[in-house]
């Protein structure tokens, strides 16, 4: 037996971890890729699962399958709960210990309810497949319960959908809920008219899609209104319970009765950030993200890099001031490649490189035929919205989907949905209406 090769441990196989493992394909290292789920998830299309447009396998691929051809990768299913930076080990929830010479932590982010964790039960966020299934269940069952509800006020509450947070995910969800109510469901119910459903998008700041230029925010707001979404800007949520939510605007306090509230407002780093802070003394920012050195390592721990949404990283372009890297998939992928390159450099005894983020632009979709695009080109920014922006968004997302089968299936599903307005992924397991209808009214079958 020869000498043991350097052991690289990658925690998390999202956009960052996947890219890092791939970039080490030809390196003389053994890679262990550990994730608490068995799949890589294409989060940008998760809202399509939450709104019954796509089924889960279209946007998720088994990690083991993705790396079947890369001999230096071993895939393990497990949740990392502890890291010892001096002993160079990571501990899994079940007590197993993994040894590493080089560690890349790419555990991503979760929701933040701004200290109001009790809201989580009433307003699920969207981050994992389970979240998407839960939102889909709530939306579809709210219509089912409304069909069985005789009391007009309760029926209206069941048909009022509220999305909190008008970032890209909130905008996509609200636009698609409106589309379902207006185009997919009409004709299928006998006692309610799904077109009467109201969709509200509640946002604390004065505009939607804050990361976009103001003109595109305004275009997105107008496109949402055209789809029938009631956009409430400058509205702060002060309470959420099983019956609805309380908001405050410049006009005063308002109660919105709703049985289906979705949270798309806050992001917090993975709890592994705190684990790393205890293990290494590194600093966390306000969102719990790990403050990294220019080369993505931690101070005093050159063999430990943190990437993706978990990292508070800066982009270091020559001759420019460092700029924060946004929490988007291209940022995570580019950091994954940089972390892999730095491991290879260290193995060759070379100095590591500082991370530089290349921003190719920003896209957001709102619904059928509507989207906004902001691209950086050598000739200056290229901004457009509406149908062509939507087509651009669609092809860009299908292009970046992992796995050819997925791309083909997604395009086919979309083409079908486009022409028929159908949303095929509407089968819900565990379809009890418990809690949605107050009592079980006796229905007059001729009603």
Ligand X SMILES: Cc1cc2nc3c(=O)[nH]c(=O)nc-3n(C[C@H](O)[C@H](O)[C@H](O)COP(=O)(O)OP(=O)(O)OC[C@H]3O[C@@H](n4cnc5c(N)ncnc54)[C@H](O)[C@@H]3O)c2cc1C
Least distance between ligand X and beta carbon 14 (Å): 2
Give the interface with ligand X as residue ranges (CB under 6 A). Answer: 11-17, 34-37, 43-44, 46-47, 79-80, 106-108, 126-127, 168-169, 270, 272, 308-310, 327-330, 332
Is the Cβ of residue 109 or residue 146 nearer to ligand X in the bound state?
A: 109
Q: At what angle do helices 15-23 and 329-347 cross, to 10 degrees?
A: 30
Q: Are 102 and 252 spatial neighbours (Cβ–Cβ below 8 Å)?
A: no
Is the Cβ of residue 169 or residue 280 nearer to ligand X in the bound state?
A: 169
Place of tokens 């939607």: 208
Is the Cβ of residue 202 or residue 269 nearer to ligand X in the bound state?
A: 269
Is the Cβ of residue 145 or residue 177 nearer to ligand X in the bound state?
A: 177
Q: Are 383 and 216 spatial neighbours (Cβ–Cβ below 8 Å)?
A: yes
Least distance between ligand X and beta carbon 237 (Å): 19
Least distance between ligand X and beta carbon 149 (Å): 30
Least distance between ligand X and beta carbon 307 (Å): 7
Active site residue 172: yes
**Over the chain, what HEC string results?**
CCCCCCEEEEECCCHHHHHHHHHCCCCCCEEEEEECCCEEECHHHHHHHHCCCCCHHHHEEEHHHHCCCCCCEEEEECCEEEEECCCCEEEECCCCEEECCEEEECCCEEECCCCCHHHCCCCCECCCHHHHHHHHHHHHHHHHHHHCCCCHHHHHHHCEEEEECCCHHHHHHHHHHHHHHHHHCCCCCCCCCHHHCEEEEECCCCCCCCCCCHHHHHHHHHHHHHCCEEEECCCEEEEEECCEEEEEECCEEEEEECCEEEECCCEEECCHHHHHHHHHCCCECCCCCEECCCCCEECCEEEEEECHHHEECEECCCCCCCEECCCCHHHHHHHHHHHHHHHHHHHCCCCCCCCCCCCCEEEEEEECCEEEEEEEECCEEEEEECHHHHHHHHHHHHHHCCCHHHHHHHHHHHHHHHHHCCCCCCCCCCCCCCCCCCCCCCCCCCC
Q: What are the CA-CA distances from residue 44 to residues 161, 241, 281, 393, 422 (Å)?
A: 21, 28, 33, 11, 21
C-beta nearest to ligand X: residue: 14
Least distance between ligand X and beta carbon 272 (Å): 5
Least distance between ligand X and beta carbon 421 (Å): 23
Exactly one of 149, 172, 203, 293 is catalytic; name it: 172
Is the Cβ of residue 140 or residue 328 nearer to ligand X in the bound state?
A: 328
Is the Cβ of residue 146 or residue 166 nearer to ligand X in the bound state?
A: 166
- Residue 393 CB contacts under 8 Å (≥ 6 apart), including other chains: 363, 364, 365, 371, 373
CA angle 215/217/222 to nearest 5° reads: 95
Least distance between ligand X and beta carbon 159 (Å): 24
Is the Cβ of residue 197 or residue 371 nearer to ligand X in the bound state?
A: 371
Least distance between ligand X and beta carbon 399 (Å): 13
Is the Cβ of residue 53 or residue 168 nearer to ligand X in the bound state?
A: 168
The residues carrying an active-site annotation are 172
């Amino acid at each position: 037996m020869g000498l043991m090769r350097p052991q690289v441990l990658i925690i998390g196989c999202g956009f960052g971890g996947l890219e890092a493992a791939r970039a080490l394909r030809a390196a003389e290292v053994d890679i262990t890729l550990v994730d608490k789920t068995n799949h890589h998830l294409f989060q940008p299309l998760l809202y399509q699962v939450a709104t019954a447009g796509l089924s889960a396998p279209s946007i998720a691929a088994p990690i083991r399958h993705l790396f079947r051809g890369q001999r230096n990768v071993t895939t393990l299913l497990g949740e990392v709960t502890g890291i010892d930076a001096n002993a160079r080990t990571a501990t899994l929830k079940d007590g197993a210990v993994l040894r590493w010479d080089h560690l890349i932590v790419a555990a991503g982010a979760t929701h933040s309810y701004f200290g109001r964790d009790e809201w989580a039960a009433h307003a699920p966020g969207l981050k994992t497949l389970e979240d998407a299934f839960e939102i889909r269940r709530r939306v579809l069952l709210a219509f089912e319960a409304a069909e069985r509800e005789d009391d007009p006020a309760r029926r209206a509450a069941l048909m009022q959908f509220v999305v909190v947070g008008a970032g890209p995910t909130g905008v996509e969800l609200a636009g698609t809920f409106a589309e379902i109510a207006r185009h997919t469901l009409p004709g299928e119910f006998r006692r309610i008219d799904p077109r009467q459903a109201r969709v509200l998008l509640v946002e604390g700041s004065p505009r939607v899609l804050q990361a976009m230029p103001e003109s595109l925010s305004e275009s997105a707001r107008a496109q949402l209104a055209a789809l029938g979404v009631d956009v409430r800007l400058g509205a702060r949520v002060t309470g959420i319970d099983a019956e609805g939510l309380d908001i405050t605007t410049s006009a005063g306090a308002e109660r919105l009765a709703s049985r289906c509230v979705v949270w798309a407002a806050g992001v917090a780093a993975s709890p592994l950030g705190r684990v790393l802070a205890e293990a290494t003394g590194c600093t966390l920012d306000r969102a719990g993200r790990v403050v990294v050195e220019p080369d993505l390592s931690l101070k005093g721990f050159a063999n430990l890099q943190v990437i993706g949404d978990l990292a508070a990283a800066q982009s270091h372009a020559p001759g420019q001031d460092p700029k924060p890297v946004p929490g988007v998939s291209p940022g995570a992928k580019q950091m994954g490649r940089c972390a892999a390159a730095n491991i290879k450099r260290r193995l060759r005894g070379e100095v590591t490189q500082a991370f530089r983020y290349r921003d190719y632009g920003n896209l957001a979709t709102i619904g059928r035929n509507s989207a906004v695009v902001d691209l950086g080109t050598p000739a200056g920014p290229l901004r457009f919205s509406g149908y062509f922006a939507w087509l651009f968004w669609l092809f860009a997302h299908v292009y970046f989907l992992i796995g050819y089968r997925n791309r083909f299936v997604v395009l086919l599903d979309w083409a079908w949905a486009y022409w028929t307005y159908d949303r095929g992924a509407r089968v819900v397991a565990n379809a009890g209406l418990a809690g949605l209808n107050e009592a079980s009214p006796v229905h007059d079958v001729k009603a």
